[in-house]
A and B are shown apart, each in its own frame.
Chain A
Amino acid sequence: MSMAAGSRPSRRGPATGIAGWPATVLTGCGLAAVLVVAAVAVFALLLQAGGGEIAGISTYYLGKVLAFTLWQALLSVLLTLLAAIPATRALARQPHFPGRSWLLQLCALPMVMPTIVGIFGVVAVFGGSGYLTAAATAFGSDWRPHIYGLPGILIAHVFFNLPLAIRLLLPAYAAVPAESWRLAAQLGMRGRDVFRFIEMPLLRQQLPGIAIIVFMLCFTTFAVALTLGGGPAATTLEVAIYQALRFDFDLGLGAMLALLQVVLCAGGAWTVWRTGREMAMGSVTRLIIRRYDGASNASRLVDYSLILLVSLFLALPMAALVQKGLSGLHAAASVASLSKAALISMALGLSGGAVATLCGYLLAQARQSLMLLGHRRMAMLIGLAGRLGLFVSPMVIGTGIFLAASGRIDLYDLAVPGVILLNAVMALPFVLGLLEPAMATAAERHDKLCAALGIKGWHRWREIDWPTLRRPLGSAFAFASVIAMGDLGAIALFGSQDLTNLTLLLYGQLGAYRLDGAASTALLLLALTLATYAILERWVGGRELH
């Protein structure tokens, strides 16, 4: 007995202090600490440079801005989730239909689309002279959609975020053990019971994380809210931050507003997480799993109608962009500049994606180990630190970096690593969104077994972790890479003439009246994204396990 106890791996032993923590936890904590310290330093610098005195902003105005920002973000999240749940369910229930994998890859596109391109796509369908109007005219009706105002903001936000929510939710559906479905079928469970006993707990685990990401993206929205919102009544907090930092150069006010944003977002995230439930499901993570409840004609009809509806909603704006891109080919940029920009997009995207995936893996692993050690709150803090890129206004990050470097470091010479790192920080929340649940599940399945068998270190990684985590890691890498590929903020910050990616090229064209050429640049960006995403997910993630 005593010998057996002595040979028990220390990993599972009770934690006594930081010194006893495994190296993975320390690395992850270190990384999280770097992120937090950087964020704190940025705010401190801004407040200090602002001279401590903050010009008055009318509380009435601020209140109105805050109320609108919250309201539109909440509505957007609600709509996105309301659409995502049935759509993902339909996709999970119908694992085999032609075009399914295309539809899933299509879901990666809105994420990388430069906002302005997405806006043009949405307007081309839902705008006053868009497809809908054309369809109405063809049927002899003079009905015209009027989207400017809240409807336009919501349509665009759902367009940008619904695919993201589906992509994040679908792996969770697939993680339900095949046995559960078999059991449900044997017990003759109806749709309502299946929802209550299998899907509901699953959603309770998954939705909070997804809701936070979508909420944050809509909360910090800017161009969408202004352009489709119809006027200054649709002012979000980010507009006020932009105005303070860019036009008024009131660093103190900008920092205060951005701090308000961080507090609101982090507070929201914390609350949502507390209501969420941790649930680990032993299973192979794969996107296709046999279910027995989608086979009846009625459920097929419902599912396929839903899938068709979602596909149309996502594909029509993209079809409009493809059409514009093709008809703009005559005005396209030279092959030389397009291919150079495409190469730069690819190189920066893959590097940013790789850094984000590595950091995400380290953070998620530390979080997982902390959970096992019983430090639940600490684990949540790590998760929060990894999501700082979502909470902190990009304007503030950019300003802070230049403020910190001023006179000390020549940032213009560090454009390449700077862009890669910034993009990695921005993509990190999405990587975590994919990796955290997958690693929780994997840990639940393998930790005890590995501990009992004494499998650890590189051996464990190669034999156990890599085969199970390969797929989510592949998805995370693909996702992070395409997010970095579509970057505008980081690359525009450094303004290096030799570093023009496709997004920057596109903005250059738009600013010089070249709208047709810009449309074909957008088409190239989308095609490149689709290819990169599909290849990485297949290549790194391996084939679907059947």
Chain B
Amino acid sequence: MQLRDLLLSTLLATAAIPAAWADEKPVLTVYTYNSFTSEWGPGPVLEKAFEATCACDINWVALEDGAALLARLKLEGKNTKADVVLGLDTNLTAEAKATGLFAPHGTDVSALKLPITWADADFVPYDWGYFAFVYDSEKLKDPPKSLADLVDGKDGPKVLLEDPRTSTPGLGLVMWMGEVYGEKAAAAWAGLKPKILTVSKGWSEAYGLFTQGEAPLVLSYTTSPAYHQIVEKTDRYKALVFPEGNYMQVEVAGAIAGSAHADLAKSFLAFLISPEAQKVIPTTNYMYPVRDIGADLPPEFTALPVPEKSLLLPADEAAKHRDDWIKTWVEAVSQ
């Protein structure tokens, strides 16, 4: 009897949880990735700020990552519940656009401050960063000076990478190597191979192994050390900028065409790049904001090393090369 009561009550309790959106305000459904909406991510703060002015509710649907977002959109097609999709990056936007699901953002992006000029009519960038190798300065006194140094160096330090078939940073490195080495990428991968400790499924595995001390180098972002400085008050972890340039990641959001809340979706996109929203980004997503937020940018961010050269393939070229370059990677690194 007791057991049955317990089961019943737990069932009822869980069934009652999603009854949150019963009121009459319009509900803006935003598809995004999990860490964006976690209590440490930008989601909760942005939600509060936007709901204060929009007379609406934001309903987050939080999936695993950017690739999962795009796959879900393609699955649902025109029937998607999403009004806004937030969390794709420029490696995925060409494919996202090809679904024909996105509407022009219609937002003024001229005030944005990015290392590149933003010309995309559908997607609004909301943060960006440079991929970089982050090293543990207590273990590595003499880190590689350049990408060539990392690739060709004999007895170089071990490095942790992510798999381009399953993660966006992994794909970022493939683009990076492709842009720097072009035809000679296969040889470059072969040079890097002996120094690769392992290639993990995603960023979390690689970064976790890195902070456990398994290898002194990991593929992450130039902004990663800012987290350790701001939250953990340590300068131990540092990012490397390379003279060949560091590859960029620009994260974007877009509104779904034919959404029942099209105006609301557009005002959300405009809100996303407003100074109010942008000043939340650095210390929640640990990426650069897309506009100059002046003194709201923490000093740890202004002190980060900045590559002299920013690399980023246009979305259509990234889409064109992706399959071949991943194949090159698989072949070179599995030898």
Contact = CB atoms under 8 A, between A and B. Distances in A.
A226 B166 contact: yes
B327 to A, nearest CB: 8
Interface in A415-433: 415-417, 420
A232 B215 CA distance: 18
A116 B224 CA distance: 20
B7 interface: yes
Nearest to A49: B75
B35 interface: yes
B208 A334 contact: no
A102 to B, nearest CB: 24
Contact of B196 (A222, A223, A231, A514): A231
A515 B34 CA distance: 15
B67 to A, nearest CB: 5
Contact of B72 (A128, A344, A402, A513): A402
A484 to B, nearest CB: 12
- Interface class of chain A by DSSP: helix
A242 B166 contact: yes
Interface string A494-507: 01111100001101
Contacts of A495: 31, 34, 60-63
Contacts of B335: 233
Contact of B205 (A116, A124, A410, A512): A116
Interface string B219-250: 00000100110010000000000000000000
Contact of A416 (B18, B64, B165, B209): B18
A229 B165 CA distance: 15
A348 interface: yes
Given A232-B330, A347-B13, A508-B41, A402 B199 contact: no
Interface residues of B, number: 73
A469 interface: no
A498 B20 contact: yes
A233 B334 contact: yes
Contacts of B198: 148, 152, 227-231
Contact of A247 (B165, B196, B204): B165
A510 B286 CA distance: 13
A28 interface: no
A245 interface: yes
A135 interface: no
A351 interface: yes
Interface stretch (B76-84, B102-110, B268-276, B309-317): B76-84
A17 interface: no
B291 interface: no
Contacts of B284: 512
Nearest to A351: B11
B199 A128 contact: no
Given A347-B10, A511-B34, A232 B61 contact: no
B15 interface: yes
Contact of A412 (B7, B61, B211): B61
Given A512-B35, A512-B40, A230 B197 contact: yes
A249 B74 contact: yes
A506 to B, nearest CB: 10
Contact of A232 (B31, B62, B81, B199): B199
Given A227-B201, A246-B68, A407-B79, A351 B18 contact: no
A194 interface: no
Nearest to B10: A347
Interface of B: 3, 6-7, 10-11, 13-15, 17-18, 20, 31, 33-35, 37-41, 59-64, 67-68, 70-72, 74-79, 81, 95, 163, 165-166, 193, 196-201, 203-209, 211-215, 224, 227-228, 231, 284, 286, 323, 329-330, 333-335
5 closest cross-chain pairs (CB), A and B: A511-B35, A508-B38, A407-B79, A129-B213, A233-B334
17 contacts: A119-B208, A120-B208, A123-B212, A222-B201, A227-B209, A231-B198, A344-B14, A402-B75, A407-B77, A416-B14, A492-B34, A497-B60, A507-B35, A508-B34, A508-B39, A510-B204, A514-B40
Interface of A: 61, 64, 116, 119-120, 123-124, 127-129, 148, 152, 222-223, 226-233, 235, 239, 242-243, 245-249, 333-334, 337, 343-344, 346-348, 350-351, 354, 399, 402-403, 406-407, 410, 412-413, 415-417, 420, 492, 495-499, 504-505, 507-515, 539-540
